[in-house]
């Protein structure tokens, strides 16, 4: 019986928590499909050990560095993060014996800070008004000033998209059907978008890769507009078939709809992705749309997003950083 469970979603036997990363469920959103013939699925990456798709990325980057001899036992790892990658690295580094220092905007939620401390990470705060770009700039300066740090640098590390590309290899190619669409977030989930996008197009060149991003200058929690500045080096814009813009308000509204209608407690950027999934699905006559839930479910309740009416959330939406 145990052998039958190996490598099934949410099943299997593993030597430690790091080996347990992956094998997350794919769930259909039947109530939120825009029309008959269009099926929408959400990949629940929140079922990874720390509750985030970034578990895959952190493991891939650390194991790649170990294989290349780029890090030595006990060396301090330094990484800019808006939360998820830092928490995933903190768990993996604590298991492998690497001290971790993260640079993070000072306006993140209290749950994120607590999770990092829980796993033993040291936090250096960057100005919140500068967002993730400010954290990246500060971390790069720190790494240049002190060569004793090793910085995986998720935004420029090819081990990031490889974590997702390799995940799909060996799976049934018939799962990539004609008319499939995959949704991603170009700034904050560059590796997820690039890795999954390349793999889907390998199996089916007709697959459409659609990126969700906010209006320029508008901060949707978990999303950044490419037009606002920093473009991660791992992004290949030629892979994208189109972009759809998402507003703050729409992202929160659809996050609340996912909870109310499908029973899914997901992050705000997933709500933004579902908003644009509806727009993309309405253009299609038939096919499958795949949406990634990239983050933990218990990280942002203090924001009030899940319990307060949308009218009471305007200030929170504008000033808080959930990712």
Catalytic residues: 54, 269
Strands 181-184 and 122-126 come out as: unpaired
CB 271 within 8 A of CB 258: yes
Strands 26-28 and 38-44 come out as: antiparallel
Which pair of structure tokens corresponds to residue 242?
A: 């189109």
CA distance 186 to 230: 11
């Amino acid at each position: 019986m145990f052998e039958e469970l190996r490598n099934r979603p949410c099943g299997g036997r593993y030597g430690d928590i790091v080996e347990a990363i992956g094998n997350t469920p794919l769930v259909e959103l039947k109530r939120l499909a825009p029309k008959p013939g269009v099926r929408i699925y959400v990949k629940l990456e929140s079922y990874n050990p720390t509750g985030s798709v970034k578990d895959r990325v952190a493991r891939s980057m650390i194991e790649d560095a170990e294989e290349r001899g780029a890090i030595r036992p006990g060396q301090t790892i330094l990484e800019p993060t808006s939360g998820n990658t830092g928490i995933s690295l903190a768990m993996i580094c604590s298991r492998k014996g690497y001290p971790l220092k993260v640079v993070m905007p000072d306006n993140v939620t209290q749950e994120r800070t607590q999770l990092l401390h829980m796993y033993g990470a040291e936090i250096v705060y960057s100005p919140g008004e500068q967002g993730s770009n400010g954290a990246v700039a500060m971390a790069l300066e720190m790494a240049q000033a002190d060569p004793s740090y090793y910085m995986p640098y998720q935004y420029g590390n090819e081990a990031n998209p490889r974590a997702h590309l390799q995940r799909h290899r060996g799976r049934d190619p018939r799962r990539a059907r004609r008319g499939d669409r995959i949704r991603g977030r170009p700034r904050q989930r560059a590796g997820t978008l690039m890795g999954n996008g390349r793999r889907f197009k390998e199996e089916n060149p007709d697959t459409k890769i659609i990126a969700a991003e906010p209006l320029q200058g508008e901060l949707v929690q978990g999303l950044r507009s490419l037009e606002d500045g920093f473009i991660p080096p791992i992004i290949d814009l030629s892979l994208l078939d189109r972009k759809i813009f998402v507003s703050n308000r729409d992202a929160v509204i659809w996050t609340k709809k996912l909870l109310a209608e499908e029973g899914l407690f997901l992050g705000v950027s997933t709500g933004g992705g579902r908003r644009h999934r509806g727009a993309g699905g309405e253009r299609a006559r038939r096919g499958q749309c795949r949406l990634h839930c990239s983050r933990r479910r218990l990280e942002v309740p203090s924001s009030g997003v899940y319990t307060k009416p949308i009218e009471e959330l305007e200030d929170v939406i504008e000033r808080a950083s959930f990712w």
